[in-house]
């Protein structure tokens, strides 16, 4: 067996984030930072130079989890883009999880369009067979011009194709979209284009977050110089309504229950679409209270 770096704790470096649905998962940091790390709105990994952790450290953390985390039956691979790890090494990590954490039912990871493209369909299927059950993809918007402006490094069509590729491999797909990222002028255009992208991609889960300004990011600079305007609560609700109205999933969940949002929504589409729209309309009329500002956070 590979010699592990043994310790009395997990090896975490810097700020670590995970999706809300992975709150109770074993958090295994196999990469540090993000392989893209250029998005105009994101400051999470600005102080980290991307790298893949060495096998000894990863194995040491898996062995630590094997001793102290026997109640947690999911593993989430951090940081920003674990799927970018070369296939052989990623399969090795999944093998070690299966070997030492046999009770784990699902492994998840963040992905981006580039890392999905770098894996063949057969490689994705092999990862699925070895325990990778879900990938989280940051879409943010379906608006082509906006994707370029926020420096996503991909096109709307490429995002659609890569999302479909994940689904074809049998891996569940959870995507995030950003309310307010277009500012005021293109708010509803962004909402409609994003709804169209989601319809064509057809993910299992959609999570809508509200953009929050992070000091030191290009988007924050745009806000300070007056070229980007934050939306009001009312405008954000209108954008969310327009996005859901233009989203048709064959069978998927649409959430806006992230702490950054004013109105928590959980709708199973297509059946729950009208109920979600009605709920937003009630909020627009002031019949439903919104999350207070002090409770909102990333």
What would you measure as the largest C-alpha separation in the chain, in angstroms? 63
Decide: 69 and 24 in contact? Cβ < 8 Å: no
Residue 298 lies in a domain: no
Instruction: Report the run of H or E that residue 209 belongs to, with start and end.
Output: strand 205-210
Decide: 78 and 48 in contact? Cβ < 8 Å: no
Residue 245 lies in a domain: yes
Residue 122: the pLDDT is 98
Decide: 56 and 7 in contact? Cβ < 8 Å: no
Listing DSSP states for 212-275 in one string gives ---TTSHHHHHHHTTS--PPPHHHHHHHHHHHHHT---SSEEEE--STT-SS--EEEETTTHHH
Say if strands 132-140 and 172-179 run parallel, antiparallel, or are unpaired.
parallel
pTM of the model: 0.93
Listing DSSP states for 8-34 in one string gives SS----S-----GGGTTSEEEE-EES-
Region 195-208 average pLDDT: 98
> What is the band of 17 on the pLDDT scale with cuts at 50, 70, 90?
confident
Instruction: Inform me whether the pLDDT recorded for 270 exceeds 90.
Output: yes
Say if strands 74-78 and 172-179 run parallel, antiparallel, or are unpaired.
unpaired
Instruction: Inform me whether the pLDDT recorded for 295 exceeds 90.
Output: no
Query: In terms of residue numbers, what domain contains 284?
Result: 20-288
Region 7-33 average pLDDT: 89
How far, in Å, CA of 108 to CA of 19, rounded? 10
Q: Calculate the CA 281 to chain-centre distance.
A: 27
Q: What is the overall mean pLDDT for the chain?
A: 93
Rounded to 5°, the CA angle 297-211-271 comes to 95
Instruction: Inform me whether the pLDDT recorded for 137 exceeds 80.
Output: yes
pLDDT in tens, 148-170: 999 999 999 999 999 999 999 99
Residue 277 lies in a domain: yes
**Which of 36, 35, 30 shows the shortest CA–CA distance to 52?**
30
pLDDT in tens, 123-135: 999 999 999 999 9
Residue 223 lies in a domain: yes
Residue 41 lies in a domain: yes
Residue 162 lies in a domain: yes
Region 78-91 average pLDDT: 95
| DSSP, res 136 | E
Count each helix (H run) and each strand (E run) in the chain, helices first: 10, 10
How far, in Å, CA of 298 to CA of 295, rounded? 10
Percentage above 70 pLDDT, the chain: 96
Residue 298: the pLDDT is 54
Question: How many structural domains are present in the chain?
Answer: 1
Decide: 125 and 170 in contact? Cβ < 8 Å: yes
Where residue 129 sits, what CATH number does that domain have?
Answer: 3.20.20.70
The three-class DSSP label of residue 297 is coil
Residue 93 lies in a domain: yes
> What is the band of 1 on the pLDDT scale with cuts at 50, 70, 90?
very low
Instruction: Inform me whether the pLDDT recorded for 116 exceeds 90.
Output: yes
Instruction: Inform me whether the pLDDT recorded for 145 exceeds 70.
Output: yes
Listing DSSP states for 139-196 in one string gives EE---HHHHHHTT-SS-HHHHHHHHHHHHHTT-EEEEEEEETTTTTTTHHHHHHHHHH
Region 90-106 average pLDDT: 98
Residue 49: the pLDDT is 87
> What is the band of 85 on the pLDDT scale with cuts at 50, 70, 90?
very high
How far, in Å, CA of 177 to CA of 182, rounded? 11
Residue 258 lies in a domain: yes
pLDDT in tens, 47-67: 778 999 999 999 999 999 999
């Amino acid at each position: 067996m590979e010699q592990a770096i043994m310790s009395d704790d997990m090896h975490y470096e810097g700020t670590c984030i995970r999706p809300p649905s992975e709150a109770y998962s074993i958090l295994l940091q196999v990469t540090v930072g993000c392989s893209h790390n250029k998005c105009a709105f994101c400051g999470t990994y600005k102080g980290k130079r991307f790298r893949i952790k060495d096998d000894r450290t990863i194995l040491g953390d898996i062995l630590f989890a094997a001793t102290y985390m026997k109640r947690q039956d999911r593993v989430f691979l951090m940081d920003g883009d674990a799927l970018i790890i070369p296939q052989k090494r990623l399969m090795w990590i999944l093998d070690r999880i299966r070997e030492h954490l046999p009770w784990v039912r699902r492994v998840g990871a963040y992905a981006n369009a580039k890392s999905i493209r770098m894996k063949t369909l057969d490689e994705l299927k092999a990862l699925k067979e070895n325990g990778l059950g879900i990938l989280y993809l940051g879409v943010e918007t379906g608006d082509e011009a906006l994707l370029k402006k926020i420096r996503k490094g991909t096109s709307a069509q490429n995002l659609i194709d890569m999302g479909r590729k994940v689904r074809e491999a049998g891996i569940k797909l959870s995507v995030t979209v950003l309310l307010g990222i277009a500012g005021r002028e293109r708010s509803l255009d962004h909402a409609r284009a994003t709804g169209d992208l989601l319809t064509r991609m057809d993910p299992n889960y959609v999570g809508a977050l509200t953009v929050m300004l992070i000091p030191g990011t290009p988007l924050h600079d745009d806000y300070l110089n007056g070229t980007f305007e934050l939306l009001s609560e009312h405008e954000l609700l209108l954008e969310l309504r327009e996005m859901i109205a233009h989203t048709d999933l064959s069978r998927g969940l649409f959430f806006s229950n992230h702490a950054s949002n004013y109105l928590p929504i959980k709708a199973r589409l297509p059946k729950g679409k009208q109920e979600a729209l009605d709920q937003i309309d009630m909020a627009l009329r002031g019949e439903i209270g919104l999350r207070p500002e002090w409770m909102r956070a990333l």
